């Protein structure tokens, strides 16, 4: 048995072709399962189904897989280990099976056939997720982008309206960022933006969302009132003041806060936070101001 054989899937092979499945796999139930998996866009759900299918037809107790930035696990890790290297669209995938018993020659053949068929929906789901991530997130800071912010704020307002929960936004920008860019170059500017994105990610709560909406402008959607948003602002200011990169180049931030009011639009709450931001700048920067309801 040669389990080290690489399997290369071309884009043509990758696309779902029912007639191929019907010819290569005589199991009607398996064909139906594969067709159903092609409808799922969550990689972890598809991988869990992949593990269950392989365990149903073969003496497999567990499967682990690494592909791109993704790691998947299903079942148990003890038993006989069989590792394979696959390739898809030029990317290597490492796949390890945990077996209850050694595979017979016929079972080895079946593993290869099933693996090729059942992994296709997983690669499809991973690619869809990667494309979706690129469409929603800023590549430099790893925060949500302007489009994702607009959609998220609409949803947050709709939820707050239904449940009468407080909602606030914080607008931030980096003080004198253009001067820093002009003096030290765009590479340093990008590093500052990237570090600021990480700082925001660490400062917000799990219920909050941070976005880069353009240049050096950021927005945080806070699931709470202005008091909760003010605590976040204090946390950001404390973090940036003790950060070596920001301290070295004297890069700081100003922040503006507003709390959403019933029947107020996304534009309205943003404009009030923006006015609060300019008040913070007028007050000497390196601080935050709240637009009171």
What are the contacts of 258-265 at 24+ separation with CB within 8 A?
Answer: 258/168, 258/169, 258/226, 258/290, 258/291, 259/166, 259/167, 259/168, 259/225, 259/226, 259/229, 259/291, 259/293, 260/157, 260/160, 260/166, 260/167, 260/168, 260/169, 261/293, 262/161, 264/157
Specify whether 216 is catalytic: yes
Of 138, 216, 274, 291, the active-site residue reads 216
**Residues with a known catalytic role:** 216
């Amino acid at each position: 048995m040669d389990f080290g054989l690489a399997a290369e899937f071309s884009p043509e092979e990758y696309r779902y072709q029912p007639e191929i499945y019907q010819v290569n796999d005589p199991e009607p139930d398996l064909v139906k399962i594969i067709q159903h998996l092609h409808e799922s866009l969550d990689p972890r759900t598809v991988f869990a189904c992949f593990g269950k299918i392989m365990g149903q037809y073969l003496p497999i107790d567990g499967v682990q897989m690494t592909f791109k930035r993704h790691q998947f696990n299903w079942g148990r890790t003890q038993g006989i280990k069989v590792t394979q290297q696959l390739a898809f669209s030029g990317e290597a995938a490492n796949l390890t099976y945990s077996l209850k018993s050694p595979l017979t020659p016929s079972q080895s053949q079946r593993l290869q056939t099933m693996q090729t068929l059942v992994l296709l929906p997983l690669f499809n789901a991973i690619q869809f997720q990667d494309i979706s991530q690129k469409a929603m997130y800023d590549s430099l800071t790893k925060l949500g982008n302007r489009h994702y912010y607009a959609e998220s704020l609409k949803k947050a307002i709709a939820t707050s309206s239904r449940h009468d929960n407080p909602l606030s936004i914080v607008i931030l920008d980096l003080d004198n960022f253009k001067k820093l860019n002009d003096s030290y170059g765009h590479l340093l500017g990008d590093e500052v933006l990237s570090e600021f994105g990480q700082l925001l990610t660490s400062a917000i709560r799990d219920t909050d969302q941070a976005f880069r909406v353009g240049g050096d402008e950021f927005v945080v959607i806070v699931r709470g009132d202005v008091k909760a948003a003010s605590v976040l602002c204090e946390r950001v200011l404390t973090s940036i003041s003790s950060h070596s990169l920001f301290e070295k180049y004297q890069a700081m931030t100003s922040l503006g806060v507003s709390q959403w009011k019933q029947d107020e639009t996304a534009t309205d709450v943003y404009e009030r936070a923006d006015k609060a931001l300019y008040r913070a700048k007028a007050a000497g920067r390196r601080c935050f101001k709240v637009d009171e309801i």
